[in-house]
Amino acid sequence: MSILTVENLSKTYGNIQALKNVSFSVPEGTVFGILGPNGSGKTTTLGTITDILKPTSGSYQLFDEPPSANSRRRIGTLLETPNFYHYLSGVKNLEIAAEIKQHGKEDIDKVLETVDLTRRKDSKFSTYSLGMKQRLAIASCLLGNPSVLVFDEPTNGLDPVGIAEIRELMKKLYREGKTIIMASHLLDEVEKVCSHVAILKRGELITSGNVNEILSNEDIVEVSSADNKKLFEILQPLNGKTKVADENSVIKIFFPVGNADLASVNDFCFSQGVVLNHLILKKKSLEARFFELTNN
């Protein structure tokens, strides 16, 4: 099942075109990152699919059906930090949130446990660290047990510990079977947390799909030996399924992602009379791939 299918979505603000014919699909059970630099249209995309903004043209489906009040109830949304009461405790704030969202209070203990705030549930919100505040906001999203969560830049403004906690929490929610759709301008975050990605640039979709396939489409095996000239020669027959590039003191062999087998490379070279003194597997840098994708 597709959780969200976006079809030719466009949005203009006056003469600013924030989204241009964007189409992608979010499979069930994925962590789907919407990745792009500032101003690329991430928030506009999330605002549209959560019914805060009306698209100028195009449409989207939720759970393979036109969006409805029913389907929206299955989605928990965190687009900006909610206005919690500073002088009330975490648990009291969640009780108010449950009432506003017309959910019962029965989920509160469970969601506090999920976000690891049980111990501090009776402390005033004003005493929480930024990371704890964000976890309380996620707890509020989890009320009513939605199967899909939509987050806009969930780690923005947090310190490294807070960032790590939120990323761990997202992985935990994913393992529990939630589908997560999140906007991020951080490649590193998408690499660490997301299984799928849609890359936006100035409102246009550059590409979308599985993170490993999109951001890292090659495995690079680096080799060298005492006689790199001979090594380069013996590697030539590998051409066709691999590209062999002689670079300075190491030789790089490029394999399609997932196809590099270090033991076979080592065996092959040894069988041809060359002993390797350097053999490592390098993934193409995500950053390099991202810049390739976004710089035409």
| 42 binding ligand ATP? (CB under 6 A) | yes
Counts of helices then strands in the chain (DSSP H, E): 11, 13
Whose Cβ is closer to ligand ATP: residue 115's or residue 158's?
158
- Residue 40 interacts with ligand ATP (CB under 6 A)? yes
Considering CB under 6 A, how many residues would be counted as binding ligand ATP? Answer: 12
Based on CB atoms, which residue is closest to ligand ATP, 146 or 203? 203
- Report if residue 76 touches ligand ATP, rule: CB under 6 A: no
- Determine which residue in the list 6, 18, 163, 170 makes contact with ligand ATP, applying CB under 6 A: 18
d(CA 208, CA 81) in angstroms, rounded, equals 28
Min separation Cβ 190 and ligand ATP, Å: 13
* Binding flag, residue 41, ligand ATP (CB under 6 A): yes
| Cβ-based nearer residue to ligand ATP, 53 or 234 | 53
Query: 1: which residues sit within 8 A by CB, 6+ positions away?
Result: 27, 28, 63, 64
CB count within 10 Å of CB 87 equals 9
Least distance from ligand ATP to the Cβ atom of residue 117, Å: 27
By CB under 6 A, tell whether 13 contacts ligand ATP.
Answer: yes
Instruction: Give dist(CA 165, CA 109) in Å, integer.
Output: 19
288, 217 in Cβ contact below 8 A?
A: no
15 touches ligand ATP by CB under 6 A: no
Alpha helices (H) in the chain, listed in sequence order: 42-49, 69-72, 90-100, 108-114, 130-142, 160-175, 187-193, 211-215, 228-235, 262-271, 286-294
Least gap, CB of 88 to ligand ATP (angstroms): 29
Least distance in angstroms from the C-beta of 189 to ligand ATP:
13
Of 6 and 117, CB closest to ligand ATP: 6
Q: Which of 3, 4, 22, 44 binds ligand ATP (CB under 6 A)?
A: 44
Q: Which of 9, 30, 31, 43 binds ligand ATP (CB under 6 A)?
A: 43
Among 5, 8, 10, 39, binds ligand ATP (CB under 6 A): 39
Q: Which is nearer to ligand ATP, 137 or 251 (CB)?
A: 137
**Token match 């029965």: residue?**
106
State how far the Cα of 243 lies from the Cα of 172, in Å rounded to an integer. Answer: 39
Contact residue for ligand ATP among 72, 74, 92, 185 (CB under 6 A): 185
Strand partners, 208: 198
According to the binding rule CB under 6 A, does residue 270 interact with ligand ATP?
A: no
- Quick one: 18 exposed, middle or buried, by C-beta within 10 A (0-12, 13-18, 19+)? buried
Angle between helices 90-100 and 130-142 (to 10 degrees): 30
What DSSP line would sit under 77-144, residue for residue?
A: EESS-----TTSBHHHHHHHHHHHTT--GGGHHHHHHHTT-STTTTSBGGGS-HHHHHHHHHHHHHTT
Q: Which residue has the tokens 């402390």?
A: 123
Taking CB under 6 A as the binding criterion, the range among 34-42, 98-106, 160-168, 258-266 that sits at the site for ligand ATP is: 34-42
Which of the ranges 33-41, 67-75, 186-194, 278-286 carries the binding residues for ligand ATP, by CB under 6 A?
Answer: 33-41
For ligand ATP, give the closer residue by CB, 54 or 229. 54
Which residues are near ligand ATP by CB under 6 A? Answer: 13, 16, 18, 36, 38-44, 185
